[in-house]
A and B are shown apart, each in its own frame.
Chain A
Amino acid sequence: MSSSSKSRKPSGLFRNMSAKIASVPMVLTALVVFVGGTAWTVLYSFTSSKLLPKLNFVGLDQYERLWSTRRWIISIENLAVYGFFSMIFTLVIGFTLAAMLDRKIRGESIFRTIFLYPFALSFVVTGLAWQWILNPDLGIQNVVRQMGWESFTFNPLNDPDIVIYGILIAGLWQGTGLIMVIMLAGLRGIDEDIWKAARVDGIGTVKTYIRVIIPMMRPVFVTALVLIASGIIKIYDLVVAQTNGGPGIASEVPAKYVINYMFRAQNLAQGFAASTMMLLSVVIILIPWAYLEFGGKKRG
């Protein structure tokens, strides 16, 4: 900054000094809160801590118990189903809506607002609203039956086999709007000349989207992917509000298992073991991807 430092040959450490000082609090927070907290959690997951953390190690006992617990297995299965469909449908619906809005339609801002509005609601509100919409006596089933379709049954929230799809519907309704807006921004960033060139070459609209536009939007897709994935892993409040894990334990999710075992069952170590498994699954997905995404670029 000052002229005196300019005259000396600044070493790498002192370059952009003010920026480095400004980022110290965030670096400390990241190290102490995120890294430190994670290490602490992993460490205590190998103990037999109950209500209070105690350092009496029991090896992998907590993990053995975790993986032999039916509720945890169901939670993982639910997360897999929810994650798989949520990822696909959010991307497909989000992109389709964005592409349709991008066709210079009339009243675009009205549609954009309508699609984005659910995102302004919290998961708790979303969960409660969809609990009513899917309630057989009040919601969709009742409306269709009143229209004369007497045998119509649509009661996902009370059927253990399909309850997770009831939650999926609510999750999609809430989340696709945001992805649509991100996609729309990406589409708007595409040069108009690309479209002109495609038209000159006589390539159809759909084909242009799939072959030309989508590959060009790679960074946008990556952003969307990260947003959706983090939403999937941390799904908790939607389930609590909509079904509270029911009927029975059919719609349990891992985050809920962690909270319940840490606080309600007063078994900290079991909760820590579960959260460590959650972290591990994120890391397993994230590291190869990060390696491909960032490692590849440096070489190229």
Chain B
Amino acid sequence: MKTMTHLLASAALVGATAAHATDLEVTHWWTSGGEAAAVAEFAKAFDATGNTWVDGAIAGSGGTARPIIISRILGGDPMGATQLNHGRQAEELIEAGLMTDLTELAEAQGWKDIVNPPSLLDACTLDGRVYCVPVNIHSGQWIWLSHGAFEKVGLDVPADWNEFVAAAPKLEEAGITPLAMGQQGWQQNLAFGTITIAIAGIDAWREVSVERNADTAAGPAYKAVFEAVANARELARNSNVQDWNLATNLVITDQAAGQIMGDWAQGEFQVAGEVAGVDYTCLPGLGVNEVLDTGGDAFYFPVIDDEATKKAQMELASTLISPEVQVAFNLKKGSLPVRGDIDMSSANDCMQKGLSILADGNILPSGDMNLTADTQTQIEDLMAEFWTSDMSAADAQARYVDIIASAE
């Protein structure tokens, strides 16, 4: 049955593509203003190679798009290429032989030498074979601050999280929500992770998230984290938006003073015509611990039994990682390039901060690479409940310890 659908699908592809250059359907979930502008750069570069980029954008966040993408691959209707966050999400798909092996191309182009930090390529590698192309580095450990909001109450823009918390009462008096927060589990989880690194420090974070040490999770460092998150929850009480870009918009329009969000928020500031350092400030690691994780997006190429398609897949793979495309894409996206050898002097204030942290090597592996989707969903559910209820910090910590203790 499955081979049958495979055959039918490839037959249909051959039929459709025999006449001219290859159409390659690319699925991704980049749909906000800044993201769409960035992905257009990919499409432009790929079309220039004589092939056609068929855009398969899936609205909603990764949580919505990933199941659709995975079920299409499993169901024998694979797309030509797809975005996924590298790490453990695609592990089983690779083990089942559903993803194209890119090792030859990677060796020919020397990806090992150009991809920086090397952990990105490691995350694409399984048993010594390369299965995906990293395209950008995204880090979640940022807080975005609105200059306008702090001017309104006559305060200086805070330099770190503690100053931000101290400024909150004044902001609230002026009717400004201190912290913008989209009411979705992943955003609340991201804020939790960021606060963890700022409050508990990197060592404690590593023990819990990488080594899955439940004792540390139950310890005093994490107790402080949960209390800080409970406090942040109060700061975000009046923020009734859902999507992250709507929350970013609250900061752009000075209705909220800050938002903890990944560097993809920068694309929204850019689309709105705001200038880093003038209209908004960004603090990596909440200004306390200046480290960034190195998650990001990567492209995977499902196995399709058709020579022309395979060739187009390889062309797309090398297009994505080529220096010009890396610069053009990442400037629009607000993310950092995966190559250390290209000129990013045209990048703005915030990206420069990120680049120098990267150059100094102050990096963490991203959560996607450490914990399975299962464990992350459990933590997300916990955070979604914690942020919207009156659950005490101690209760939340106890349940967090349980999840870490049973994580695989």
Q: Which residues of A contact B (CB under 8 A)?
A: 50-52, 65, 69-71, 158, 160, 244-250, 259-261, 263-267, 270
CB-CB contacts below 8 Å: B375-402 with A:
376-378, 381-382, 384-389, 399
- Would you list 26 pairs from A and B whose C-beta atoms are within 8 A, ordered by A residue? A50-B372, A52-B92, A69-B378, A70-B381, A70-B382, A70-B399, A244-B184, A244-B242, A246-B384, A248-B183, A248-B389, A249-B185, A249-B384, A259-B67, A261-B377, A263-B66, A263-B67, A263-B71, A264-B373, A265-B376, A265-B378, A266-B70, A266-B89, A266-B372, A266-B374, A270-B374
A71 to B381, CA, bound (A): 7
A261 to B376, CA, bound (A): 11
Q: Which of A52, A248, A249, A267 has its CB near the most chain B CB atoms (within 10 A)? A: A248
Q: Judging by beta carbons under 8 Å apart, are A264 and B67 in contact? A: yes
A250 to B378, CA, bound (A): 15
B290 CB → nearest A CB, Å:
31
CB-CB contacts below 8 Å: B238-281 with A:
240, 242
Kindly state whether residue B93 has any CB partner on chain A within 8 Å.
yes
* Majority secondary structure of chain B interface residues (helix, strand, loop or mixed): helix
Contact status of A265 and B92, CB under 8 A, knowing A70-B385, A160-B388, A246-B183: no
B369 CB → nearest A CB, Å:
15
Instruction: Pick the contact of A247: B70, B376, B388 (CB < 8 A).
Output: B388
A160 to B387, CA, bound (A): 11
A70 to B388, CA, bound (A): 14
B27 CB → nearest A CB, Å:
15
Query: What chain B residues lie within 8 Å of A52 (beta carbons)?
Result: 74, 92, 96
A265 to B74, CA, bound (A): 16
Query: What chain A residues lie within 8 Å of B376 (beta carbons)?
Result: 265
Q: For chains A and B in complex, what number of residue pairs have CB atoms within 8 angstroms?
A: 75
Contact status of A264 and B240, CB under 8 A, knowing A51-B93, A249-B385: no
A64 CB → nearest B CB, Å:
10
Q: Judging by beta carbons under 8 Å apart, are A246 and B388 in contact? A: yes
Q: Judging by beta carbons under 8 Å apart, are B388 and A51 in contact? A: no
Kindly state whether residue B15 has any CB partner on chain A within 8 Å.
no
A248 to B189, CA, bound (A): 12
Q: Judging by beta carbons under 8 Å apart, are B385 and A71 in contact? A: yes
Q: Judging by beta carbons under 8 Å apart, are A249 and B377 in contact? A: no
Kindly state whether residue B110 has any CB partner on chain A within 8 Å.
no
CB-CB contacts below 8 Å: B349-377 with A:
372-374, 376-377
Q: Which of A71, A245, A249 has its CB near the most chain B CB atoms (within 10 A)? A: A249
Query: What chain A residues lie within 8 Å of B389 (beta carbons)?
Result: 160, 248, 250
Query: What chain A residues lie within 8 Å of B406 (beta carbons)?
Result: 65
B254 CB → nearest A CB, Å:
19
User: Chain B contact residues (Cβ within 8 angstroms of A): what range?
Assistant: 20 to 34
B95 CB → nearest A CB, Å:
8
> Which residue from chain B places its CB closest to the CB of A247 in the assembled complex?
B388
In addition to A249-B381, A265-B373, A266-B373, 6 A-B residue pairs with Cβ atoms within 8 Å of each other are: A50-B92, A52-B74, A52-B96, A246-B183, A246-B388, A249-B388
Query: What chain A residues lie within 8 Å of B384 (beta carbons)?
Result: 245-246, 248-249
Among all A-B residue pairs, the 6 with the closest Cβ atoms: A248-B388, A263-B67, A265-B377, A51-B92, A247-B388, A267-B374
A15 CB → nearest B CB, Å:
35
Query: What chain A residues lie within 8 Å of B385 (beta carbons)?
Result: 70-71, 248-250
Query: What chain A residues lie within 8 Å of B91 (beta carbons)?
Result: 51
Kindly state whether residue B63 has any CB partner on chain A within 8 Å.
yes
Q: Judging by beta carbons under 8 Å apart, are A51 and B240 in contact? A: no
> Which residue from chain B places its CB closest to the CB of A263 in the assembled complex?
B67
Query: What chain B residues lie within 8 Å of A248 (beta carbons)?
Result: 183, 384-389
> Which residue from chain B places its CB closest to the CB of A135 in the assembled complex?
B240
> Which residue from chain B places its CB closest to the CB of A259 in the assembled complex?
B67
Query: What chain B residues lie within 8 Å of A246 (beta carbons)?
Result: 183-184, 242, 384, 388
Q: Judging by beta carbons under 8 Å apart, are A50 and B374 in contact? A: yes
A69 to B373, CA, bound (A): 16
B68 CB → nearest A CB, Å:
9
A264 to B242, CA, bound (A): 19
Query: What chain A residues lie within 8 Å of B381 (beta carbons)?
Result: 69-71, 249
A158 to B240, CA, bound (A): 8
A93 CB → nearest B CB, Å:
31
> Which residue from chain A places its CB closest to the CB of B382 in the assembled complex?
A70
A267 to B374, CA, bound (A): 6
A71 to B386, CA, bound (A): 12
